[in-house]
Amino acid sequence: MDELDVEFEEFLSLPLSNEAFLQEIERIFEQDAEFEERDLTEEEAYALALRAYSDTIGIVTDCAHVIPSNAPSSHAQAICIGSCVRISKYMQVVLSLAREHRHREVIYGLIRSILESATNIRFLVIANCDDYFDRFVKLSLGPERELYDSLIAQESRGEELDPVDQRLKDSILRFCRLSGLTIEDVSRQLRGFNIDARARMQRFNEDRMYAAFFRSPSHAIHGDWVDLLMHHLDHIDGRFAPRIESESPSPSYLTPPAYFVLEAMKEYLLKYCDETEEVRAIQDRIYKARLFCLQSDSVDREVQLNYDTGTRAE
């Protein structure tokens, strides 16, 4: 992609709280007469999306440092804080790849994982029930129970565990101890909440997003046929050939997921965190960042529409 001009780069360097920045974003969004004199390029629309995504990461990271003192249990506090940290880490990887215009196919899979954690936060906060938090802990340990059983079976056959397997067994018991459980409390049959993602999203009226945010990105998780067609194969002269080069993600890989994450942060702070000055400041940033994401997405759609129209006209 072409480099941005200096004036636009300076504009993007302004903090989200800066009134000049907010006014410029609003002007771009409203597409007034001055803006229409120079339509934004694809590069500038992409830079806006990167900036919106980066701002969201900063907000999520700050949310992770706020103690959810109104959460119903210590498990609830730990799950919410840990999920914020996880989202922030995964989003930082996405941002790093997106800045290099690389690996759209990898970002697609990361999006699925990010939105899983955001959905968990929204579902748990709205349900606000100890039982769901306890289920999240207990049922998450199902794979470890199965692995533990296989190690015990090995010992029962008179086979001594090697040091690696012994450390693995000890780690599983440690996970259970930190979770306030014994290994016997854990079922090997179930995982997660035992409630699928669509049902969880229905609880906060976002199940219409299930296909876009969960089912489609799942192609990249499982490496199924659609993922191979989308990202790893070219069809040339009636035959399939390997597509080795990576591709740049579009802004649509950035701003809609960022907006969804911001919704989770908004609901989390509102329900579980005391309204301190720090929390109010983060809530204000969330409001501005959500607006920025919407505006950035709108700009990208307009740029793509202009591009498609121009391409057809040529």
62 within domain boundaries: yes
163 within domain boundaries: no
Q: What is the per-residue pLDDT for 7?
A: 63
Q: Which domain holds residue 279?
A: 6-141+186-313
196 within domain boundaries: yes
The structural domain count of the chain equals 1
Q: What is the per-residue pLDDT for 314?
A: 46
pTM for this structure?
0.84
Q: What is the per-residue pLDDT for 34?
A: 41
150 within domain boundaries: no
DSSP string spanning the chain? Answer: -PPPPHHHHHHHTS-TT-HHHHHHHHHHHHT-HHHHTSPPPHHHHHHHHHHHHHHHHHHHHHHHTS--TTSSSHHHHHHHHHHHHHHHHHHHHHHHHHHTT--HHHHHHHHHHHHHHHHHHHHHHHH--HHHHHHHHHHHTHHHHHHHHHHHHHHHTTPPPPHHHHHHHHHHHHHHHHTT--GGG--SS--TTSS-HHHHHHTTT-GGGHIIIIIHHHHHHHT-HHHIIIIIEEEETTEEEE--S--PPPGGGTHHHHHHHHHHHHHHHHHHS---HHHHHHHHHHHHHHHHHHHHHHHHHHHHHHHHHHHHH-
Q: What is the per-residue pLDDT for 39?
A: 65
172 within domain boundaries: no
101 within domain boundaries: yes
169 within domain boundaries: no
pLDDT tens track, the chain, 314 positions: 556 666 666 666 766 666 666 666 666 655 433 434 346 777 878 888 899 999 999 999 999 999 998 988 888 999 999 999 999 999 999 999 999 998 989 999 999 999 999 999 998 898 888 888 888 898 889 999 999 999 999 999 988 889 999 999 999 999 999 999 999 999 877 665 667 777 788 777 777 777 777 788 888 889 999 999 988 999 998 999 999 998 888 888 899 999 999 999 999 999 999 999 999 999 999 998 888 888 888 777 777 766 555 544 44
Q: What is the per-residue pLDDT for 185?
A: 92
228 within domain boundaries: yes
Q: What is the per-residue pLDDT for 250?
A: 86
